[in-house]
Amino acid sequence: MPAQFCPTPCALDDLELLLNGGFAPQTNFDDEGPIRLALPAELADEAEIEIVDPEGLPLATWTPGGLTPLSAPSYGPFRRLHLDPTSARAQHAGALTVPVAAALTDDDLAAIQEAREGRDVVLLAFVGSGTPQDISPVGLVRASLAAAELLGNAYVVAATLAAHGDPEADHELGQRVAANYASGDVLAVTGSGELPIEIAGIVDTDQPEEPGVVVFFTGLSGSGKSTLAQALLDLVLEAGQRTVTSLDGDVVRRNLSAGLTFSKADRETNIRRIGWVAAEIARHRGIAICSPIAPFDETRQQVRAMVEAAGGEFVLVHVATPLEECERRDRKGLYAKARAGEIPEFTGISSPYEEPTDAAVRVDTTGRTIEDALGDVLAVLPFDL
């Protein structure tokens, strides 16, 4: 059995174009160029890898010598428009092909009408990760369908051309993909001018304005994480503008993370689970308020990366109430038990807490009211309450 590997969204997009001829003559990942598989160190020496999608569906077998398809992706919005180049050329023989990475403007449509000279038009929507400009991949297809309607005798074909972080290389790849999909001429548009009203409506409703936000409280047991998180939750609910989800340390451990211990490995698993859920909430533009101890810097960084990869803003709040004050409060009597040796690996006593150096704010609640301490948090939030 070859080792399985789920690559980045960008590499999954590349895979689709490598397998369907979109990147022809290139048919396999490269060691050097932008189209890379980027295997993790533990798989770097494998001679054969089974590439799977995030759900674990095997997509292809990779060897340095070539890719063998295992199953074609059959899911995802507008999948029916994902033609391979051979089918696109056959279905739209002689059409004018227009690569599209942003919603088409009035000027673009006029340029297409002028250049088409009676021919059909193929709008080749580049929907790969990071490529659509100021619009989601789904929004780009919807805007292109509206443009096709305005043009008449025009068709939308989707190709998963992703952005690889190198504009020059991506431009060259875009030209190559367009040439492979086109059976006739290719026309580049400029994007200058206004959006037609039918397209502007789609762009406006494509994505809500505000990004998702994850407010992540970290600190010792008894520092005030849950208290501040609850107060913040209530304020967001009272404002009534945004959906909000609480992921409190204790509550998560009774549900999502039931059965996990307080070993380093289990704490990391616990935090990564919270991070994964919070990132999904952020992806859908909600607010997640998390309040676990999260004692390890590296795991907190992973959560930040997950949230930011999902397009969310990550606000780390260090509830920096000192151990002496937390122990004095000892709301649940846990510190006394930990000191007596009845609870092993207790954070701050017999298990480490790594202080964050990347917090948006540091709040010591000692001798302060909840409202006062919460004010420090509100001051760094990227939304108004």
Ligand X SMILES: Nc1ncnc2c1ncn2[C@@H]1O[C@H](COP(=O)(O)OS(=O)(=O)O)[C@@H](OP(=O)(O)O)[C@H]1O
Give me the residues that bind ligand X (CB under 6 A), please.
221-222, 226, 249-250, 253, 262, 267, 270-271, 292-295, 332, 334, 343, 345-347, 351
| Residue 291: CB minimum distance to ligand ADP, A | 6
Q: Is 264 in the site for ligand ADP (CB under 6 A)?
A: no
Whose Cβ is closer to ligand ADP: residue 143's or residue 278's? 278
Where do we find the tokens 């598989």? 37
Residue 312: contacted member of ligand ADP, ligand X, none (CB under 5 to 8 Å, by partner type): none
Residue 329: contacted member of ligand X, ligand ADP, none (CB under 5 to 8 Å, by partner type): ligand ADP
Among 254, 251, 259, 263, residue whose Cα is nearest residue 344: 263
Residue 227: contacted member of ligand ADP, ligand X, none (CB under 5 to 8 Å, by partner type): ligand ADP
| Residue 347: CB minimum distance to ligand ADP, A | 10
User: Quick one: tokens of 347?
Assistant: 């954070």
Residue 357: contacted member of ligand ADP, ligand X, none (CB under 5 to 8 Å, by partner type): none
Judged by CB under 6 A, the residue of 141, 156, 307, 373 near ligand ADP is 373
Q: Is 218 in the site for ligand ADP (CB under 6 A)?
A: no
Judged by CB under 6 A, the residue of 97, 180, 299, 365 near ligand ADP is 365
Q: Is 222 in the site for ligand ADP (CB under 6 A)?
A: yes
| Residue 181: CB minimum distance to ligand X, A | 49
Judged by CB under 6 A, the stretch of 17-25, 171-179, 257-265, 369-377 that binds ligand ADP is 369-377
323 to 342: interface string for ligand ADP, x by CB under 6 A: ------x-x-----------
Residue 212: contacted member of ligand X, ligand ADP, none (CB under 5 to 8 Å, by partner type): none
Listed as own residue / partner, the contacts of 304-311 with beta carbons closer than 8 Å and 24 or more positions apart are: 304/358, 306/272, 306/275, 306/276, 306/278, 306/279, 307/212, 307/214, 307/275, 307/278, 307/279, 307/282, 309/279, 310/212, 310/279, 310/280, 310/282, 310/283, 311/211, 311/212, 311/282, 311/283
Number of amino acids touching ligand ADP (CB under 6 A): 17
Cα–Cα distance, 111 to 106 (Å, whole number): 9
Whose Cβ is closer to ligand ADP: residue 207's or residue 366's? 366
Judged by CB under 6 A, the residue of 370, 375, 382, 385 near ligand ADP is 370
Whose Cβ is closer to ligand X: residue 258's or residue 379's? 258
The residues, any chain, with a CB within 8 Å of residue 174's CB and separated by 6 or more, are 99, 101, 126, 161
Q: Is 221 in the site for ligand ADP (CB under 6 A)?
A: yes
Judged by CB under 6 A, the stretch of 53-61, 80-88, 208-216, 362-370 that binds ligand ADP is 362-370
Residue 295: contacted member of ligand X, ligand ADP, none (CB under 5 to 8 Å, by partner type): ligand X
| Residue 242: CB minimum distance to ligand ADP, A | 23
Q: Is 369 in the site for ligand ADP (CB under 6 A)?
A: yes
Whose Cβ is closer to ligand X: residue 24's or residue 343's? 343
Cα–Cα distance, 288 to 383 (Å, whole number): 13
| Residue nearest ligand X (C-beta atom) | 249
Name the residues that contact ligand ADP, by CB under 6 A: 219, 221-228, 291, 329, 331, 365, 368-370, 373
